[in-house]
Amino acid sequence: MVVIAKDLELERAIQDLPSEVQKEIRWFARHIERLEAGELDEDDFKRFRLENGVYGIRGAPDMHMVRVKVRFGRITPHQLETLAAIADQFTPHRRVHITTRQDIQFHHVRREDVPLVLARIAQSGLTTREACGNTVRNVTACPFAGVSPSEVFDVTPYADAVSRYFLRHPITQNLPRKFKIAFEGCREDHVVPAIHDIGAIAAVRRENGHLERGFRLYIAGGLGAQPRAAELLEPFTPADLLIPTCEAIIRVFDRHGERRSDRLHRMRARMKFLAKDWGIDRLREAILAERRTLLLTRSGLMEDGIETVEEEPPDVDIPSLPPPDWEPSPEYEAWYRTNVRPQKQDGYFTVIIRCELGDITSDGLRTVARVARRWCAGRIRTAISQNLILRWVPERALPWVYQELQSAGLAAAGAHSITDVTRCPGADTCQLALTHSRGLAEALDEVLARDLADVSETPNLSIKISGCMNSCGQHHIADIGFYGASAEIDGRPLPQYIVLVGGQPAGERVRFAKPVARVPARRAPDVVRRLLALYRAQRQPGESFAAFVDRVGTRPIKRALEDLTSVPSFEEAPELYRDLGAEEETFRVELGPGECSA
């Protein structure tokens, strides 16, 4: 009877969805039935579920992580409320995680509940399709697109068109590995196009007396264990050639990318390795030749072009007076200084909501939805900084917005500063992670709050954490980066972090951080204290942390950290053999089958 009731609930949930979505969700439910009946191989199910945005969870074969694609970061209040309801009903912690690709993840969803969760997500207009697996992953875009004072033009419609074009496209269903695309239109770097398979940066040129939109397309970048900066494909790609050029790049990768099944070769099945093996000139020649073929057959060319529509100011009823009992406080001033930015539209601002540790509760999602609906007509974006951004907030509404966010615990200052630490889910859920990156992020939060009361001293310094070398937390492009590792001391496993310094995203160029130390995980907070002390003591006026690292070199930095790298025996310091975030357990290496390349 329970099974029948679940089937009926699922059918009701999908009845108004597009036919292809209904088929996918029914097929997922059927695959679960076959798997549990022993009729389906686990590896075959894995490939299928990854294509539909569902990962395995460490130590829980019947639990899953569900990743929701938030295409180019745009999300509505209704969608946030839907995700909140899903978190309440189907997850034990009633929270979601925002990723460094503008996605939103649920953790610890029971396998039997996954089809209904997918249905609820689809009802809201979102999808999990191709959020994982060997596909074109979520197409990211600058969260300030359309409102940034420094942008060349709004890249939103172009990111939208590319995302829609490749979703469920036959060529993207079984690529050699995952494929990532990002769009940036600002002088500042908000999405790091240089670490993507395709990084599209807005550009214009004057042609026959007219200003023509286009892009500088960078290709074959990536992080992971061997980071590589993307290289320029051609000086200017006209907007009407954007999609056929992207398709040509993907087709060349699909045809020539590494496909051998053993793990060593699967890890090399990224476009950056194809570029390394071939050289950029040969790769460029192959892509441009493929594009000529596509254009001759009209494949990939959008006859009507990409529709561009300027966002209109929202119609918001703003009371003429500030909120009751309103007086700007030091906390408000700090929030305004770090979390509020003027738009290019006079009188309007963006507000960055810090989702500390990359998480936000279901109640928090509802608060953001309510505030956005009331004060900025529901204009919301996710950011790769793992934050939420309200757009088109009228200046007179800022005190009201702050007060509502503050009462819900969502007005933490320091957005996109040193205190706004980026981290992957780590060993809490990921099967490849060695360390609990959440535990380190929590420890650093305490260190920064206590030892760095004035954020203005290091306003743009970034800290990023990954639980393994794969750089889901983007440690390679941080001023101070950490990634999880381990060692064995007298037969006992020890949790460690590799420390990197001096990374920096820079639009069309990127600087990768350099390794300087390998320390027990519980000493990582001391590393940050030492590095900040060294920087404060020796920096020159106006010198950024990356410039400081360039000037002094890594040798004095390594010396400053040298004593932290020594490892006593378990008998001398048993606490070092426990990971941050798992204090009650003696550390042990537990790696499951990785699914990033499945």
Q: Name 493's Cβ contacts closer than 8 Å, sequence gap at least 6.
A: 486, 487, 577, 587, 588, 589
pLDDT(508) > 80:
no
- Residue 455, pLDDT score: 47
DSSP state of 592: -
- Residue 207, pLDDT score: 84
Among residues of the chain, what percentage have pLDDT more than 90? Answer: 77
What domains lie within the chain, and their CATH numbers? 2-123 (3.90.480.20), 140-296 (3.30.413.10), 330-407 (3.30.70.3340), 422-577 (3.30.413.10)
Q: What is the mean pLDDT of residues 470-492?
A: 94
User: Nearest CA to 427 among 559, 571, 589, 537?
Assistant: 589
pLDDT(395) > 60:
yes
Q: What is the mean pLDDT of residues 463-488?
A: 95
- Residue 322, pLDDT score: 72
Q: Name 451's Cβ contacts closer than 8 Å, sequence gap at least 6.
A: 529, 532
Q: What is the mean pLDDT of residues 571-575?
A: 93
Lookup result for tokens 């609930």 = 9
Structure-model confidence comparison of residues 61 and 507, the more confident one: 61
Express each pLDDT in 291-328 by its tens digit.
999 998 875 555 557 888 888 898 888 877 777 777 88
User: How far is CA 135 from its chain centroid?
Assistant: 16
- Residue 590, pLDDT score: 74
CA–CA distance, 457 with 462 (Å, rounded to integer): 13
β-strands 181-184, 140-141: how paired?
A: parallel
Structure-model confidence comparison of residues 168 and 43, the more confident one: 168
Structure tokens at 206: 């004057």
pTM: 0.94
Structure tokens at 318: 């703003």
User: Strands, E, within 121-186: which ranges?
Assistant: 140-141, 181-184
- Residue 349 has φ and ψ, to the nearest 5°, of -140, 155
Q: What is the mean pLDDT of residues 198-208?
A: 94
- Residue 398, pLDDT score: 95
Residue 593's pLDDT band, with cuts at 50, 70 and 90, is: low
pLDDT(2) > 90:
no
Structure-model confidence comparison of residues 366 and 461, the more confident one: 366
pLDDT(525) > 50:
yes
Lookup result for tokens 């357990």 = 585
CA–CA distance, 292 with 82 (Å, rounded to integer): 44
Express each pLDDT in 60-95 by its tens digit.
889 999 999 999 999 999 999 999 999 999 999 999
CB 99 within 8 A of CB 83: no
User: Nearest CA to 520 among 435, 449, 591?
Assistant: 435
Rounded to the nearest integer, the mean pLDDT of the chain is 91
Residue 450's pLDDT band, with cuts at 50, 70 and 90, is: confident
- Residue 126, pLDDT score: 98
- Residue 3, pLDDT score: 57
CB 467 within 8 A of CB 473: yes
Structure tokens at 7: 């089937």
